[in-house]
Structure 1
Amino acid sequence: MKTSAVFLLALVASTMAVPHHSNMKALSQARIDVFCDICQVLIQDLDDFITDDTTEGDILGFLENICVPLGLIGLEDICRSFIEEYGPDIIDQLVNENLSPSLLCGPQGLGICDA
């Protein structure tokens, strides 16, 4: 999980480092790509965390811990709200439907990634 938090913060920082005079369409696409990458990394970490012995409460707690570093950029509450709303469905899709992170984050899943 520590690796995910560092990766997440590095990706967010990289999108903020884009010069202001850049093409807005390219900047928007870069941000979409970053959120897609973040989604896939976090879903993979979640998938790796889930075992036969973990309960839904354990898994939701793991997800909420991922939100803590986002407090540094003011997104912790949004992250927690997202987990409260979608966490059980994400868990179900990972466990019962064996969806990969790319499918779960893609258009047929959470819709964060374009393809």
Structure 2
Amino acid sequence: MKVAMISSVLSVITLAGFVCCSDLPSATFSVSVESKQSGTLECVLCKLVMDELESVIKGNQTEEEIIQLVDDVCSELPSSIKAECKDFINDYGKEIIDALINDVMPSAVCTVIQLCSKVERKYPQGAVECDVCLFVAKYLDEYLDSNSTIEEIVKVMEDVCNVISSSLKKECTELLNTFGFEIVKQILNEITPKEICSDIKLCSSINELMGSSRCARGPAYWCSSHEAAVECNAEEYCKTQ
């Protein structure tokens, strides 16, 4: 149902800011924008634009060629978001061009110009995290389709952690900050939630993590005793209950 989604739209939903490369260029340039939270429309649009530019920028373009690529990028995006893209380029095109000219990698630009916050890609693996991943993936699979607008995608990403159990909100937010892009990208490619969570290695070894099928009963069993928490790799989770 979602297979027709243009590939560049797949990057729209990554709530986590692209992690900046470890070796940023020594050159400096002016950044006049205010820092934004990852997941805002500005951050989402920035990642969408930079994902498209990353596919065409090879590292040997002249300044004039980079300017032209930035000017033309909106024409390569789906018609449903072209108007928003043009407004975004009008507002932030200069900062993007300055960053690219100074050899900032496209995947790092949104963080460097302070439209997206930098998020370290660290996330634990265990029965709780697998459960949260499956919940999030199933929710997104239900509410996203190939006609979703940027606003709709952002709203679904914001909503999912509000409908999950309050005891798992923190894990849900951390999951989105780390794997939001990967999860939605695969959903739009019609990959099942179970396959998605296995692919990002949150459920890849779930049988080993769970120890036995008893862990599938969820938090009620995990936290029923210290032994159960150890068995299901849920000690940290149960400490918060």
Could you say which TM-score interval applies, normalised by the shorter chain?
Answer: 0.5 to 0.7
Structure 2 unaligned residues grouped into runs of 5+ = 17-37, 120-241
Query: What SS is found at the alignment partner of 2:113?
Result: coil
**Post-superposition offset of 1:76:** 1.9
Tell me the residue number matched to 1:59: 69
CA distance 1:65–1:102, shift in 2 (3 Å): same
**Post-superposition offset of 1:65:** 1.3
Query: What SS is found at the alignment partner of 1:78?
Result: helix
Q: CA RMSD in A?
A: 3.7
Structure 1 unaligned residues grouped into runs of 5+ = 16-27
**Post-superposition offset of 1:94:** 0.4
Count residues with an aligned counterpart.
89
Distance 2:106 2:115 in 1: 12
**Post-superposition offset of 1:39:** 4.8
Conserved 8 A contact 1:47-1:94 = no
Which of residues 31, 53, 58 is equivalent to 1:48?
A: 58
Conserved 8 A contact 1:60-1:87 = yes
Tell me the residue number matched to 2:95: 89
Which one has the largest radius of gyration? 2
TM-score between the two structures when normalised by the length of structure 1: 0.52
Q: Which has the higher helix share?
A: 1
**Post-superposition offset of 1:38:** 3.2
Which of residues 27, 38, 44 is equivalent to 2:48?
A: 38
Conserved 8 A contact 1:11-1:38 = yes
The percentage of aligned residue pairs carrying the same residue is 18
Tell me the residue number matched to 1:24: none
Conserved 8 A contact 1:44-1:101 = yes
Moved over 4 A (4+): 28-31
Distance 1:105 1:76 in 2: 19
Tell me the residue number matched to 1:112: 116
